[in-house]
């Protein structure tokens, strides 16, 4: 395959940045999208140019690093896939492909396609944890009976890989899907009970502080999320927050 | 977390959007019931409509409801504008190439635009009818359908409305009718997304109830604006 690539290039956080055009040829349709970028970078290095910086780690759809906005969609066309799991057979020979970084005030660009997503880490730090005894007498997880449906829903929420596609795709750059998945995975389980109220109040507060926008229920996040995280989680977080803010005494 | 932080929360702003929005849905139903009386022909219709208008402007319980309605409209608009500006700020650099249609509906992405059309409509609509009824000299209805004198003459809103959409009396009647219909289309799209969205915001997302809410929302967003829009079209055509 021969392709024209229009890629966002930005040398650093303070550079204004611009789209630049590149040509790649002899791309195999079986390559992953990241491998295609590897080919381009190899070419750029040979030409003595600066390769395109992009995030990646596992290359098997579980780490959530490979953030790219491809042809107007987070992680490109196709559902339930990250960029590393997207294959070049999803594109046509001769096609022009636009590649941009996640766009959100809360995810500033570090270089080219690499953004700083530590805002997500701070949301987790604000309350996305449970207190457990780690002094050697840790309880068996199965000691607590949990209804199967709750266990399933908690597991589904926990499959969120923190990739940020939900923020990138949301017209408001809202982090509701991510935050609600992280609230839900614990709110559904007895282990999460102790910090239940504090958790949702603090995580939502941190989410607002980071400068993410307000959710308007367009549902775009759910469609683009590589893990199929459901909008049900957002409704659950809305409920949790409402309950907690009414009953909280502080 | 402090109380003030809770009040400033994005979620609290959204709860208010949802609550005021749902209340305004109820208001629409009430308003529509009143408007449909314009279909009653002759003096009888005139009397009934004017009596209804009097009831709506003087009954104390209705008064309280109307203040809640004014508050809801203003709050819904200001809160919506505030949220929209915050959301713009959350994405300072736009995508060079974006395909939002791949993952979301048009109405859901254009609530602010639709809301602006509606705000303009409400402003003109209230100047044309509400302000006249409340603050200016009105024509009066003095006799009933049988020609008997009324004990108390009624403000004749019926005649004002008829004349407003009558091309031989008002040379702007066509524009007024078209603007009304366009605004009802805007409200239909606004409700198409807004109705079910409000429930999601309030945390109602349930296997059993959500499909029902979505169905009711769609029915409501088509039926209510349609019935509203039919009235000025009918008045325009029958009086042309
Ligand atoms: S909710 Fe989905 S899109 Fe958002 S961070 Fe988690 S996995 Fe990525
Ligand atoms: S590189 Fe890990 S999910 Fe794509």
The shortest C-alpha distance from B48 to chain A (Å) reads: 42
Determine, yes or no, domain membership for B2: no
Predicted ipTM of the assembly: 0.92
Residue A139: per-residue pLDDT: 77
Asked if the Cβ–Cβ distance from A208 to B94 is below 8 Å, we say no
Domain count, chain B: 1
Residue B8: per-residue pLDDT: 80
| Banded model confidence at residue A141, pLDDT cuts 50, 70, 90 | confident
Report the pLDDT averaged over residues A196-206.
96
Residue B1: per-residue pLDDT: 52
- pLDDT averaged per 10 residues in sequence order, chain B, 240 residues: 69 96 97 95 92 93 95 96 96 97 96 97 94 89 85 92 94 96 98 97 94 97 98 94
Handedness of CA B193, B196, B200, B202 (dihedral sign): positive
User: Which among A8, A69, A231 has the least Cβ separation from residue B200?
Assistant: A231
pLDDT digits (tens, 9 = 90+) for A57-106: 999 999 999 999 999 999 999 899 999 999 999 999 999 999 999 999 99
Rounded Cα–Cα distance for residues A182 and B12 (Å): 20
Residue ranges lining ligand 1, Cβ < 6 Å: A 64, 160-166, 177-178, 181, 225-227, 229
Rounded Cα–Cα distance for residues B139 and B204 (Å): 48
Number of residues that make up chain A: 250
Which chain B residue's Cα is nearest to A241?
B11
Determine, yes or no, domain membership for B3: no
Residue closest to A231 by CA, chosen among B76, B195, B12, B196:
B196
What's chain A's Rg over C-alpha atoms?
20
Reported pTM: 0.94
Ligand nearest to the CA of A123: 1
Under 8 Å between Cβ of B29 and B225: no
Asked if the Cβ–Cβ distance from B104 to A219 is below 8 Å, we say yes
pLDDT digits (tens, 9 = 90+) for A227-246: 999 999 999 999 999 999 98
Determine, yes or no, domain membership for B85: yes
Domain encompassing residue B136: 10-239
Determine, yes or no, domain membership for B4: no
> B96 and chain A: CB distance < 8 Å anywhere?
yes
pLDDT digits (tens, 9 = 90+) for A26-60: 999 999 999 999 999 999 999 999 999 999 999 99
- Among A20, A173, A217, A241, pick the best mutation site for testing chain B contact (most B Cβ within 10 A): A217
pLDDT digits (tens, 9 = 90+) for B59-82: 999 999 999 999 999 999 999 999
We report the CATH number of the domain holding residue B124 as 1.20.1300
Whether residue A250 has pLDDT greater than 70: no
B197 CB-side CA count, 13 A: 25
3-state helix, strand, coil in chain B (%, to 5): 75, 5, 20
Query: How much is the mean pLDDT over chain A?
Result: 95
Determine, yes or no, domain membership for B188: yes
Share of chain A above pLDDT 70, in %: 100
Determine, yes or no, domain membership for B150: yes
Determine, yes or no, domain membership for B40: yes
Determine, yes or no, domain membership for B86: yes
Please, which contacts does A141-146 make with residues 24 or more away whose CB atoms are closer than 8 Å?
A141/A191, A144/A190, A144/A191, A146/A189, A146/A190
């Amino acid at each position: 395959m021969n392709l024209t690539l229009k890629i966002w290039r930005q040398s650093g956080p303070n550079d204004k940045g611009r789209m630049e055009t590149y040509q790649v040829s002899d791309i195999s349709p079986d390559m992953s999208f990241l491998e295609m970028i590897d080919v381009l970078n190899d070419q750029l290095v040979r030409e003595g140019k600066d390769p395109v910086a992009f995030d990646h780690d596992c290359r098997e759809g579980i780490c959530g690093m490979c953030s790219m906005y491809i042809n107007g969609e987070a992680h490109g066309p196709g559902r339930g896939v990250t960029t590393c799991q997207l294959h070049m057979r999803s594109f046509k020979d001769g096609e022009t492909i636009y590649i941009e970084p996640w766009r959100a005030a809360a995810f500033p660009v570090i270089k080219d396609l690499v953004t700083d997503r530590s805002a997500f880490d701070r949301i987790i730090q604000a309350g996305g944890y449970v207190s457990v005894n780690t002094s050697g007498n840790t309880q068996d997880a199965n000691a607590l009976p949990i209804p199967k449906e709750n266990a399933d829903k908690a597991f589904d929420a926990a499959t969120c890989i923190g990739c940020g596609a939900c923020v990138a795709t949301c017209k408001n750059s809202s982090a509701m899907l991510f935050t609600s998945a992280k609230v839900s995975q614990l709110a559904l389980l007895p282990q999460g009970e102790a910090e239940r109220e504090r958790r949702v109040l603090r995580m939502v507060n941190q989410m607002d502080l980071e400068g993410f926008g307000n959710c308007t229920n367009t549902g775009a996040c759910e469609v683009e999320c590589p893990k199929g995280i459901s909008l049900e989680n957002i409704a659950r977080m809305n409920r949790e927050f409402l309950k907690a803010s009414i009953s909280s005494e502080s | 977390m402090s109380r003030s932080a809770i009040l400033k929360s994005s979620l609290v702003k959204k709860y208010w959007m949802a609550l005021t929005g749902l209340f305004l849905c109820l208001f629409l139903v009430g308003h529509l019931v009143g408007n449909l009386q314009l279909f009653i022909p002759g003096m009888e219709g005139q009397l009934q409509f004017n009596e209804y208008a009097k009831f709506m402007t003087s009954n104390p319980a209705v008064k309280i409801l109307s203040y809640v309605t004014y508050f809801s409209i203003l709050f819904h608009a200001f809160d919506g504008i505030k949220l929209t500006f915050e959301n713009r700020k959350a994405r300072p650099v736009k995508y060079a190439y974006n395909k939002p249609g791949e993952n979301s509906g048009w109405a859901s992405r254009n609530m602010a635009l639709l809301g602006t059309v509606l705000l303009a409509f409400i402003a003109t609509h209230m100047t044309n009818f509400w302000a006249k009824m409340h603050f200016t000299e009105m024509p009066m209805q003095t006799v009933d359908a049988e020609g008997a004198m009324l004990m108390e003459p009624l403000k004749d809103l019926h005649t004002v409305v008829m004349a407003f959409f009558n091309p031989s009396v008002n040379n702007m009647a066509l524009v007024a009718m078209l603007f009304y219909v366009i605004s009802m289309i805007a409200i239909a799209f606004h409700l198409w997304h807004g109705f079910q969205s409000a429930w999601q915001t309030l945390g109602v997302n349930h296997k059993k109830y959500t499909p029902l809410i979505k169905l009711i929302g769609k029915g409501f967003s088509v039926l209510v604006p349609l019935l509203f829009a039919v009235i000025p079209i009918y008045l325009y055509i029958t009086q042309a």
